[in-house]
Amino acid sequence: MKNLIAGIVGVWLVALCGPVTAEAADNGSLRAQLQHFSGLNYRQKKAAVEGLATIESESTLPLLQALLGGEIYFSKTDNSQFYQRRESGAEVQFSPLLGDQLSPGPTAAIKPSSLRKLRVNNAVRKALRQAIAAVQLRVGSEAERLAALETMLGKLDDEAYLRLQQLQPQQSSAAVQDQFQLVLAVHQLGAADSAQRLAALGPLAGRLEPQVRAAIQQAIEAFADDRAFVAEASAALAKTEQRIGFYRFVETLFFGLSLGSVFLLAAIGLAITFGVMGVINMAHGEMIMLGAYTTYVVQLLMPAHLQYSLLVAVPAAFLVSGLFGVLIERGVIQFLHGRPLETLLATFGISLILQQLVRSVFSPLNRQVASPSWMSGAVELNPVLSLTLNRLYILAFSLLVFMLLVYLFKRTNLGLNVRAVSQNRAMAKAMGVKTGWVDALTFGLGSGVAGVAGVALSQLTNVGPNLGQSYIIDSFMVVVFGGVGNLIGTLVGAFSLGVANKFLEPLTGAVMANILVLVFIILFIQKRPQGLFPQRGRAAE
Amino acid sequence: MTSLYQRLSKLRGHGNVSSAVLVILLFTSVYASVCNLLLPEDSVFYVSTYTITLLGKYLCFAMLALAVDVIWGYCGILSLGHGAFFALGGYGMGMYLMRQVGDRGVYGHPELPDFMVFLNWQQLPWYWQGMDMFWFALLMILLVPGLLAFVFGALAFRSRVTGVYLSIMTQALTYALMLAFFRNEMGFGGNNGLTDFKDILGYNLQADGTRVSLFIITAFCLAMAFLLSRSIMQSRFGRVVLAIRDAEPRSRFVGYRVERYKLWLFVYSALLAALAGALYVPQVGIINPGEFAPLNSIEVVVWVAVGGRGTLYGAIIGALLVNYAKTRFTAIWPDAWLFMLGALFVFITVFLPQGLSAYVAAKWQQYRHAKSTSKGAQHEPC
């Protein structure tokens, strides 16, 4: 059965690939076809390429691709001896193509000067691409067929259209069938018959591919007299625009959530130190920066295992920043208890020292932190919407960190102690809670989380001594907006500010959006000084 | 009530120090000016124009510190955004100076400043109109920051945003302004700010005479600001402000409209800062959005903390000391300056929360006390 289908397809393909010279068609071997090649002019080469594609051989596809890549050479003395150039590193080698079907053999020692390249120009390359697509339609996997159809989209001529139309019923997969219909319909838009054009619009309405949109646009211009068609086509375009608008919205939302996740990571440590302990830590941004530099150092230490460096960097950054946090708390903040304004100034001094420290140790220039391969790339959902992987990972990571912290505060002993101290320090102390110890741990935890945020940020922005500075004000805004002492408030605050920022951006520009959000928060705090989710309490003031 | 009384008597006790500060200020400015203008350049006592400008810059900073001390030291409002008022005042003066350049700019346009010609602007934006008149510019220098302070303060104090929240809000304010002024579309020269000034009221800005005059005017303004602030703090208004700092709810319950007192003090402080900025720009010759940076505003707070808050003269001393140290250190060993500044923040807040002046005053009292008791001991046997 399979052979039968292959045979039938082969026959069609002979037809598909068009005007083949009679003598070439007689020679069924690739070698025989290619022998003429060197002597032909470019226009003839173009036709010959189509002849090559008709030959059913395992080597057809690799040969066409090699031709496209300019890798095929022939011997100056004998134009039936073919070689393929192979590059291994800087070394260039040639392997002879053996047998009638030109299957590549082992590399041989041949002087490059004795060989001549089979030259192609852009027109021939175009024909080669079409030929490769045609062969892939015949022998390729489903993914290759889809890719082949994509290259044909909007580029069919009448003959290829007829041949494709015949190929269509052969396709078993629904996705390929769908794509076939699309490619054919785009061509039908150019048909002289009005009814045919109208029928073609059906499957095209709402398609997102830019070629489809362009084709409809062209058809509207070409058949401006045909009122019924123009109306239908405009409606189809409007439907497309509507869908594009929707996906743009989804994309903006995603960018907003991504920015929100960055805000969340940066602010959540602050929500702990500021919200729970009531300590203004102006050095919080520098804790983020330390985390980012830890990522950099970890990558320097394990250059061979870049893939896993981030997994090592997360706990390492947590420890480094957390340790600094504990030191700061024990060294300075514990002496300033109950004097928030002084704490603010002292921690600001610490932030200056840390910045200068990093500048002295690592130089004031930005450092490059590499992305592991599993973080790069994008998920392409459709032609207008693709989500970058690193942002998706960071979004998920921020939520994970958030849930871990909520668990820590609600379900563990440490969380219980922290909440007790934050609600009533004197009473907690009387009940035997070591408040000093709890303070140090809480501060260390908040700083450690900031360090983890630094690992994530190192994947999105430059790692430099000023990294923390650019996030500290936004982080404070998020915490104040969400409501102090409330992790849920920080979550809601971070995502709403991120989304608001990204939706304002197209209207006002990035900087202006930032300014507007800041002004909004300043005004919001005047209206609700306790933030979105105020802490319940019975304070008189 | 006792604490209020103690504060007041302490304030009166500062009278001597205040006069001393004023006298030193006036003497130094007259001395420096005379030495610059009358002595030949090779004289040992000659004061270079660079030094005069540097001193003038310090005095502007001292005035800014005074503004912060008025609200932080006396009313407990820690503003981390006073740099915004300073920079707004500076931009007002910068706009006037820019208009004075006339057609002497690089592009030689009779009306538009260089950066507008560069950006292909066709006409002067409406907010630049009238800034070529000195009296109008002066009015704007005070009006715009004053209005901003009024609106911000009215909103914040009415809804009782206090303490740390207010600090963060003021910081956000100056940060937002910085972002805004960095934009070219704002029409304030974007990143580069306003610079390349030629003359003020017809006097060449580069001339020694103009420099010295600006310096003397700054010193005079600082002295006036100091006296005015002192008399405000000694008035009934000032006493209420102190009461608000020490017990805000109680003052409110007693019947004072706390938010009004805070608001007017805040506006007064913003005006001082703006005036300082306006005096600063012609002396340094540039104003750019960097002046809005939150770091600058926090540095001012440190000057006040170093000198000692709630004394007025402490702010001036702190500003002069820290800025002198900054000039020296950034010249000798630039990398060390941020370490120094950071350590200063920590040291002052942890060990000397009342600042140097309080420390010196305490030592002085100890010394006096020891002297008087030893005298008393000598007298007793007689």
For residue A148, the distance in angstroms to the closest alpha carbon of chain B comes to: 47
Pairing state between β B286-287 and B194-195: antiparallel
Percent of chain A with pLDDT over 70: 91
Q: Return d(Cα B93, Cα B89) in angstroms, integer.
A: 6
Q: If you average pLDDT over residues B198-205, what whole number do you get? A: 88
Q: Token pair of A87, please?
A: 């590059």
Q: Return d(Cα A96, Cα A75) in angstroms, integer.
A: 10
pTM for the full model? 0.79
Asked if A349 lies within 8 A of B176 by C-beta distance, the reply is no
Residue pLDDT, tens place only, B331-368: 888 888 888 889 988 999 888 888 888 888 888 888 98
Burial of A122 (0-12, 13-18, 19+ CB in 10 A): exposed
Residue A284's Cα: distance from chain center in Å? Answer: 30
For residue A525, the distance in angstroms to the closest alpha carbon of chain B comes to: 8
Q: Return d(Cα A414, Cα B317) in angstroms, integer.
A: 47
CA distances from A202 to A186, A188, A245, B209, B221 (A): 11, 11, 20, 84, 80
Residue B239's Cα: distance from chain center in Å? Answer: 23
Contacts 24+ apart (CB under 8 A), A322-325: A322/A444, A322/A445, A322/A447, A322/A448, A322/A451, A323/A444, A324/A287, A324/A290, A324/A354, A324/A447, A325/A273, A325/A287, A325/A443, A325/A444, A325/A445, A325/A446, A325/A447, A325/A448, A325/A450
A143 or B267, greater pLDDT: B267
Q: Which residue in the set B159, B346, B348 is minimally distant from A529, CB to CB? A: B159
Amino acid (1-letter code) at residue A336: L
Domain A248-527 in CATH 1.25.40? no
Q: If you average pLDDT over residues B14-30, what whole number do you get? A: 81
Ramachandran region, residue A531 (left: φ > 0; alpha: ψ -120 to 50; beta: rest): left
Residue pLDDT, tens place only, B290-312: 999 998 999 999 899 999 888 89
The average confidence (pLDDT) of chain A is 81
The pLDDT, as a whole number, for residue A197 is 76
The pLDDT, as a whole number, for residue A8 is 47
The pLDDT, as a whole number, for residue A536 is 66
Size of interface A-B (CB pairs under 8 A): 117
Q: Return d(Cα B48, Cα B56) in angstroms, integer.
A: 12
The pLDDT, as a whole number, for residue B162 is 81
Q: Return d(Cα B359, Cα B307) in angstroms, integer.
A: 10
The pLDDT, as a whole number, for residue B3 is 53
Other CB atoms within 10 A of residue B136 CB: 15
Q: Are A20 and A28 in contact (CB under 8 A)?
A: no
For residue B326, the distance in angstroms to the closest alpha carbon of chain A comes to: 14
Asked if A476 lies within 8 A of B171 by C-beta distance, the reply is yes
Residue pLDDT, tens place only, A76-99: 777 777 777 777 766 777 777 777
Q: Return d(Cα A43, Cα A49) in angstroms, integer.
A: 10
| pLDDT band of B58, cuts 50, 70, 90 | very high
Q: Return d(Cα A238, Cα A207) in angstroms, integer.
A: 11
Contacts of A527 in chain B (CB under 8 A): 159
CA angle centred on A444, ends A438 and A450, rounded to 5°: 140
The pLDDT, as a whole number, for residue B1 is 44
| pLDDT band of A27, cuts 50, 70, 90 | low
Q: Which residue in the set A340, A477, A515 is minimally distant from B164, CB to CB? A: A340
The average confidence (pLDDT) of chain B is 88
A74-86 burial, b for 16+ CB within 10 Å, e for fewer? beeeebebbbbbe
Contacts of A359 in chain B (CB under 8 A): 335, 338
Q: Which residue in the set A350, A359, A519 is minimally distant from B176, CB to CB? A: A519
Amino acid (1-letter code) at residue A14: V
Q: Token pair of B46, please?
A: 């000659």
Q: Which helix (H) or strand (E) holds B143?
A: helix B134-158
The pLDDT, as a whole number, for residue B32 is 86
Q: Are A240 and A208 in contact (CB under 8 A)?
A: yes
User: Among residues A421, A198, A247, which one has the least CA distance to residue A329?
Assistant: A421
Beta bridge pairs of residue A82: A74
Q: Return d(Cα B112, Cα A330) in angstroms, integer.
A: 57
The pLDDT, as a whole number, for residue B118 is 86
CA distances from A306 to A377, A398, B262 (A): 16, 22, 57
Residue pLDDT, tens place only, A122-141: 778 878 877 777 777 777 77
User: Among residues A137, A220, A221, which one has the least CA distance to residue A183?
Assistant: A137
A15 or A360, greater pLDDT: A360
The pLDDT, as a whole number, for residue A23 is 40
CA nearest to A340 within chain B: B164
Percent of chain B with pLDDT over 90: 51
Q: Return d(Cα A98, Cα A305) in angstroms, integer.
A: 41
Q: Are B320 and B300 in contact (CB under 8 A)?
A: no
Asked if A477 lies within 8 A of B176 by C-beta distance, the reply is no
Residue pLDDT, tens place only, A182-224: 777 777 777 777 777 777 777 777 777 877 888 888 788 777 7
Where does B101-226 show beta strands of DSSP type E? 194-195, 199-200, 203-204
Residue pLDDT, tens place only, A422-463: 888 889 899 999 988 999 999 999 999 999 999 999 988 889
The pLDDT, as a whole number, for residue B6 is 55
CA angle centred on B58, ends B245 and B177, rounded to 5°: 65
Q: Return d(Cα A291, Cα A452) in angstroms, integer.
A: 6
Residue pLDDT, tens place only, A230-284: 888 888 888 888 888 899 999 999 999 999 999 999 999 988 888 777 788 889 9
Q: Token pair of A398, please?
A: 């921020």
Q: Is pLDDT of A540 > 50?
A: no
Q: Return d(Cα A250, Cα A242) in angstroms, integer.
A: 13
The pLDDT, as a whole number, for residue A198 is 77
Q: Is pLDDT of B89 > 50?
A: yes
Q: Return d(Cα A178, Cα A144) in angstroms, integer.
A: 15
Which runs of consecutive H residues, i.e. helices, occur in A302-339? 306-331
Chain A contacts in chain B segment 128-167 (CB below 8 A): 152, 155-156, 158-161, 163-165, 167
Asked if A349 lies within 8 A of B346 by C-beta distance, the reply is yes
Q: Which residue in the set B161, B182, B338 is minimally distant from A526, CB to CB? A: B161
For residue A272, the distance in angstroms to the closest alpha carbon of chain B comes to: 16
B33 or A284, greater pLDDT: A284
> DSSP assignment of A260-274, as one string?
HHHHHHHHHHHIIII
Q: Could you state, in order of their start, the residue ranges of all structural domains in chain A?
A: 2-80+118-139, 168-245, 248-527
Q: Return d(Cα A226, Cα B131) in angstroms, integer.
A: 62
Pairing state between β A103-104 and A91-98: antiparallel
Contacts of B172 in chain A (CB under 8 A): 473, 476-477, 518, 521-522
User: By a Cβ cutoff of 8 Å, what residues of chain A touch chain B?
Assistant: 280, 332, 335-336, 339-346, 348-353, 355-357, 359-360, 473, 476-477, 480, 511-512, 514-515, 518-519, 521-523, 525-527, 529, 540-541
Q: If you average pLDDT over residues A58-69, what whole number do you get? A: 78
Residue B79's Cα: distance from chain center in Å? Answer: 12
B206 or B273, greater pLDDT: B273
Beta bridge pairs of residue A130: none
Q: Is pLDDT of A365 > 50?
A: yes
Asked if B342 lies within 8 A of A522 by C-beta distance, the reply is no
Q: If you average pLDDT over residues B214-219, what whole number do you get? A: 93
Question: Phi then psi for B150, rounded to 5 degrees?
Answer: -65, -50
The pLDDT, as a whole number, for residue B43 is 80
Beta bridge pairs of residue A86: A93
The pLDDT, as a whole number, for residue A89 is 66
Q: If you average pLDDT over residues B232-238, what whole number do you get? A: 94
Q: Return d(Cα B88, Cα A111) in angstroms, integer.
A: 75
Q: Return d(Cα B54, Cα B57) in angstroms, integer.
A: 5
Q: Are B279 and B221 in contact (CB under 8 A)?
A: yes
Asked if B180 lies within 8 A of A349 by C-beta distance, the reply is no
